[in-house]
């Protein structure tokens, strides 16, 4: 495992790690920059996610991702000194893509707790989670076109799939467009809204409830969710069948229930 890049001297760790029982919480910790994702933050997030997924039987039952200081993340840190250096941007992008891949392969569900802003890469990170809990006034947006970029972490695909093409087009193409959490909840991209300031507590309670389930069945369920949601029905049923047998075997259940019963 490649060691993560460290934060600049005198700057606190860009990521906080907590574990309470079967729930782990990773907190983006650059509140003075609205948790803009620096190279050091992305490296640490990549590193800590892989550590959690490599714990085997000691892995958490669920993970919460959140941000310090009342905001989730304003996206990539465009004020980094080497922002325009293509090779360094490629390093950040590699970290980002690894983070998304690790989230997709994690054997436990991941819950985003969103307050304030989730913009650009911050929105992509939230939508890469299995469930999104947000303060009702949280704002989501894709400002990339205005800073000389396009989204590169799957946000457009995720928005089209979870909320529809119309809202994806608004957020991508209209300068300064921000969509509130309560609207995204009505469209299906946010699973639960709470009064502002309550997203983390709600997300951790939700994660604890989920994590109380059988670990083998929980892993099969979350992998089924991620691997079948984008497929047509025939392909999805094939994936579902594979995970059904996996879960039945892991739980040591009779794989041939009586006729007429599940």
**Active-site annotation, residues:** 76, 121, 124, 144
Report yes or no: 122 and 113 within 8 Å, Cβ to Cβ.
Answer: no
Q: Find, among 216, 198, 233, the residue nearest to 70 by Cα.
A: 198
In three-state form (DSSP H/G/I as H, E/B as E, the rest C), the secondary structure along 140-207 is: EECCHHHHCCCCCCCHHHHHHHHCCHHHHHHHHHCCCCCEEHHHHHHHCCCCEEECCCCHHHHHHHHH
Q: What does the alpha-carbon distance between residue 226 and residue 242 come to, in Å, rounded to a whole number?
A: 14
DSSP 92-107: HHHHHHHHHHHHHH-S
> What token pair was written down for 47?
């590193």
């Amino acid at each position: 495992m490649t060691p993560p890049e460290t934060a600049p001297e005198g700057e606190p760790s860009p990521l906080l790690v907590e574990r309470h029982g079967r729930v782990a919480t990773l907190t983006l910790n650059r509140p003075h920059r609205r948790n803009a994702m620096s190279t050091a933050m992305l490296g640490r997030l990549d590193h800590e996610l892989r550590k959690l997924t490599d714990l085997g039987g000691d892995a958490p039952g669920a993970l919460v991702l959140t941000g310090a200081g009342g905001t989730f993340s304003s996206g990539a840190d465009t004020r980094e000194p080497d922002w325009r250096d293509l090779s360094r941007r490629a390093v950040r992008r590699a970290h980002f893509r690894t983070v998304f891949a690790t989230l997709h392969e994690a054997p436990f569900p991941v819950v985003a707790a969103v307050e304030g802003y989730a913009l650009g890469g911050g929105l992509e990170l939230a939508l890469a989670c299995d469930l999104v809990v947000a303060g009702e006034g949280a704002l989501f947006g894709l400002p990339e076109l205005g800073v000389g970029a396009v989204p590169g972490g799957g946000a457009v695909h995720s928005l089209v799939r979870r909320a529809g093409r119309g809202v994806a087009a608004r957020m991508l193409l209209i300068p300064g467009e921000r969509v509130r959490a309560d609207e995204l909840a009505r469209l299906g991209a946010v699973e639960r809204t709470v009064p502002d300031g309550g997203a983390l507590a709600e997300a951790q309670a939700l994660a604890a409830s989920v994590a109380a389930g059988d670990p083998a069945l929980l892993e099969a369920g979350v992998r089924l969710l991620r691997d079948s949601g984008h497929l047509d029905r025939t392909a999805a049923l094939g994936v579902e069948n594979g995970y059904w047998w996996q879960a039945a075997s892991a739980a040591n259940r009779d794989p041939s229930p009586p006729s007429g019963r599940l």
